[in-house]
Each structure stands twice: as structure tokens, then as C-alpha cells.
């Protein structure tokens, strides 16, 4: 698949429809030159980039301001996020490691963490629980 540009408008759909997604947050057009090489080295992944200056909303959702970063999803789960530039060899190495992960085990661990958090909320006093739920509406 050819590398693509992503924006706040299409990011979520890209995550939902990609088995493996590599998103490179870039600060200059010269950084996007690696996209094609990356796509040839890792043909099984969708490669996308986001210019943090053109898409500040998406960059800020990821905690970035005027800095490069690498974000890797597999089966809609973030498995890697690190600020800074990453060369093709580094990304290829990371993808090799990520491809060996047992995703069923990872999902199981995520569910256990969610269950433990829910149990903690049930045990919290009603005032604390209301404050926690207000600060994190997804629980």
C-alpha cells in the first residue's frame, strides 16, 4: 500500500481499518521522504504521516507540539509511541518485535486492567467515584 497523509478528520477511520498502522508525526516535508522506503521494507503495514504544523489538533491529541514522533498500532491497540525521529532501520526492527506479540494476550491484559480499575471505582466512596468518573467519562 502506498504511504498516505493523515489528518484529524480521517485518523480514527485509518486506525479502525488498518491491521497494522505506522504513523509518523513529522515537522518538515523532508521527513516524509522516508515513507516510500518504509513502505517497501514493511509492506504489510499501512504507513501514514502527519505534519504537526498542518494538523496541530491531531498532534496535540498525541501530546505533541512541534516535535516528531512515531506511533504504531496493531489491531487498533497502541503498541509503540515515542517522540523523536526514527530511521527506517529502527522502525523495521520495532515492527519485527511487534509482529511477534501475542495480541490475544495483550487484549486479555487490557481487559484485566479495565476490570481492576472498575473494581477500584466500585470500592471508592461515592464522592470520590463521582470525581473520578467526571474526570474520565469513558469508565
Q: How many CB atoms lie within 10 A of CB 47?
A: 25
pTM: 0.80
pLDDT at 14: 96
CA 15 to chain centre: 8
Cβ atoms of 2 and 42 closer than 8 Å: no
pLDDT at 84: 93
Q: In tens digits, what is the pLDDT along the chain, a chain of 139 residues?
A: 688 999 999 999 999 999 999 999 999 877 777 888 899 999 999 999 999 999 999 999 989 999 999 999 999 999 999 999 899 999 999 999 999 999 999 999 999 988 887 776 666 666 665 666 677 665 4
Greatest alpha-carbon span in the chain = 55
Amino acid at each position: 500500500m502506498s504511504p498516505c497523509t493523515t489528518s484529524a478528520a480521517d485518523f480514527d477511520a485509518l486506525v479502525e481499518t488498518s491491521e497494522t498502522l505506522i504513523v509518523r508525526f513529522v515537522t518538515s516535508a523532508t521527513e516524509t521522504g522516508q515513507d516510500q522506503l518504509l513502505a517497501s521494507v514493511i509492506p504489510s503495514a499501512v504507513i501514514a504521516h502527519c505534519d504537526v504544523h498542518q494538523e496541530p489538533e491531531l498532534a496535540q491529541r498525541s501530546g505533541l507540539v512541534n516535535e516528531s514522533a512515531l506511533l504504531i498500532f496493531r489491531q487498533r491497540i497502541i503498541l509503540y509511541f515515542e517522540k523523536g525521529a526514527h530511521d527506517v532501520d529502527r522502525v523495521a526492527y520495532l515492527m519485527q518485535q511487534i509482529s511477534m506479540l501475542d495480541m490475544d494476550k495483550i487484549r486479555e491484559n487490557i481487559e484485566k486492567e479495565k476490570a481492576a480499575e472498575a473494581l477500584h471505582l466500585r470500592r471508592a466512596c461515592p464522592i470520590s467515584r463521582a470525581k473520578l468518573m467526571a474526570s474520565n467519562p469513558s469508565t
